[in-house]
Amino acid sequence: MHKDSAVGIHDLSFATGHYVLDHREIANHYSVDINKFHLGIGQEAMSVPAADEDIVTMAATAARPIIDRYGTADIRTVLLATETGVDQAKSAGLYVHSLLGLPSAARVLELKQACYAATAALQFAAALVSRDPSERVLVIATDIARYDAGSPGESTQGAAAAAMLVTAEPAILRLDRPSGLFAADIMDFWRPNYRSTAVVDGKTSIAAYLQAIEGAWKDYTERGGRPIDEFAAFCYHQPFTKMAHKAHRHLAEFSGAAAEPDDIHDAIHTSTLYNRVIGNSYTASLYLGLASLLDHRDDLAGKPIAMFSYGSGSVAEFFGGTVMPGYREHLRTAGHRAAIADRTPIDYAGYRSLHELSLPVDGGDHALVEEGRGPYRLAGLSGHKRIYQARSRR
């Protein structure tokens, strides 16, 4: 009886960094044409966290509105996905669990597989809810994309967290079956433990992404998935927004669907609007795309949408969901737009000072200057422990 219950996303909220760096600042610094960014990769700006912000503070900020709306009862699992974790052993989700005041009767863990892990968390959450529809699962994707200054990846950086409440009888999106899966051992993007910035082979990464689309779509169709022309819209993982265009063109050509520029624009454009001004947010990227689609597209009630999740290395999943009737009443469009509009502009020199900042590693007592305005902050370090604080709520 329970296994046939509708399960999916009941609420969706995102948060981003305190600062915003306009790509004109990068273009001016390197004396390049701004269209290298606006047209070449499809980016206009990127979020930059303050010195007292990290993946934990963004995660808690993204999830706070969900807790305020629905409370903490029946949240027995917190799944936090990230590839920029703050500890090799302890889940960053436990810090978030504490900051949000969630029940002690809970399982809390962190998942990692490059940018894909949030989709794994979403599917694991759906399985838990299918087993017991009275439970609710909090899924959070949170990341800060960092590359070496001067590298091709610098202009694709960004930071954000997306939080989702997964329940039975969801108000926003029902997850549909089946999923199409793909995995391959490819060194297209990675970050060894001894590095604070990622290593990426750009050409290999794009080729691996497109290979993963083919593999995941093939598996999806073999398992009885929808024909491609039944989907009303598409959301893709966006390491940069132009990648969504490349991805959909490739999938359309591979599957025999319409692949003219207008067809591609109509299928994906509204899903790229937030990522275009936030930048890459790794695990959160796909779900910022989903929020952007739902916040900007004409009424999608009752219509199926497609989602493609990719994580370098590589793992991918193609799956669908049906938008629920009345979903607009549950969206957080105003809050999402405010999160973007309220960022403080920063110049290139200011961004570089934050980019080069590193936290002390000597185990001493170190207080961090209060800088961000969000509800949570990293206040300091003491004895190799991270100290988080909740600001007083007005």
Q: Which domains does the chain have, with CATH numbers?
A: 2-390 (3.40.47.10)
Q: What's the pLDDT tens digit per position in 356-386?
A: 999 999 999 999 999 999 999 999 999 999 9
What's residue 261's pLDDT? 93
What does 251-280 look like in DSSP terms, one character per residue? HHHHHT---SHHHHHHHHGGGSHHHHHH--
Which element (helix H / strand E) includes 153? none
Residue type, 341: A
Q: What is the pLDDT of residues 265-312, one digit of tens each?
A: 999 999 999 999 999 999 999 999 999 999 999 999 999 999 999 999
User: For 141-157, how does the pLDDT look when each residue is reduced to its tens digit (9 = 90+)?
Assistant: 999 999 999 999 999 99
Helix (H, G, I), strand (E, B) or coil at 220: helix
Question: What percent of the chain clears pLDDT 70, i.e. is strictly above it?
Answer: 98
Nearest alpha carbon to residue 290 among 275, 310, 312: 275
- CA-based Rg of the chain, rounded to a whole angstrom? 20
Cβ atoms within 10 A of the Cβ of 261, count?
9
Q: Looking at residue 4, what is its pLDDT?
A: 67
pLDDT above 50 (res 43): yes
Residue-wise pLDDT tens digits, 175-187: 999 999 999 999 9
pLDDT of residue 232: 97
What was the pLDDT predicted at 3?
47
Whether residue 2 is predicted with pLDDT greater than 50 in this model: the reply is no
* pLDDT tier, 1 (very low <50, low <70, confident <90, very high otherwise): very low
Q: Each residue of 347-357: pLDDT tens digit?
A: 999 999 999 99
Q: Which of the four pLDDT bands, split at 50, 70 and 90, describes residue 96?
A: very high
pLDDT at 392 exceeding the cut of 90: no
* DSSP codes, 56-115: HHHHHHHHHHHHHHH-STTEEEEEEE-SS-S-SSS-HHHHHHHHHT--SS-EEEEE-BTB
Q: What is the pLDDT of residues 319-337, one digit of tens each?
A: 999 999 999 999 999 999 9
DSSP string for 358-384:
----SS--EEPPP---SSEEEEEEETT
pLDDT at 393 over 80: no
| pLDDT beyond 60 at 7 | yes
Catalytic residues: 83, 115, 237
Rounded mean pLDDT of 34-55?
98
Residue 312 in contact with residue 114, Cβ under 8 Å?
A: yes
